[in-house]
């Protein structure tokens, strides 16, 4: 096992493709996405009814330096369209 960072963010489903493409450009290409989430925050309810776009939950396990790069790309999206980003610690099971 090796120590890694666990970055997770919740953003509008519609923004995920763009964000992941921009991460790919800085060589961050491993991630997992869970779609169809809903939630509430400063911008009110989202994704809870069929007429509003769903949110996506994105999980990236990466090392310390990559965290900074990711945050740089994610923050503008959070700023203009809302959402959250959390960073925590984890151990990665090497296989």
Ligand X SMILES: Nc1ncnc2c1ncn2[C@@H]1O[C@H](COP(=O)(O)O)[C@@H](O)[C@H]1O
Q: Can you tell me the distance from the alpha carbon of 41 to that of 26, in angstroms, rounded to the nearest whole number?
A: 30
CA distance 11 to 13: 6
Among residue numbers 9 through 38, which ones bind another protein (CB under 8 A)?
A: 13-14, 21, 36
Among residues 18, 21, 40, 52, the one that binds a second copy under rule CB under 8 A: 40
Q: Where does residue 86 rank: exposed (0-12), middle (13-18), buried (19+ CB within 10 A)?
A: exposed
CA–CA gap between residue 45 and residue 37 (Å, rounded)? 11
CB 83 within 8 A of CB 10: yes
Among 1, 30, 50, 86, binds another protein (CB under 8 A): 50
Q: Does 4 bind another protein (CB under 8 A)?
A: no
Among 7, 46, 62, 70, indicate the residue that binds another protein (CB under 8 A).
46
The contact set with a second copy (CB under 8 A) reads 1, 4, 6, 9-10, 20, 29-42, 55, 57, 59, 61, 71, 74-75, 78-79, 84-93, 95
């Amino acid at each position: 096992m090796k120590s890694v960072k666990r970055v997770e963010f919740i953003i509008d489903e519609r923004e995920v493709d763009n964000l992941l493409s921009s991460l790919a450009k800085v060589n961050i290409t491993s991630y997992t996405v869970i779609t169809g989430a809903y939630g509430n925050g400063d911008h009110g309810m989202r994704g809870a009814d069929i007429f509003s776009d769903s949110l996506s939950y994105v999980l990236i396990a990466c090392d310390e330096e990559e965290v900074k790069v990711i945050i740089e790309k994610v923050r503008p999206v959070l700023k203009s369209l809302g959402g959250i980003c959390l960073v925590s610690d984890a151990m990665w099971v090497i296989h």
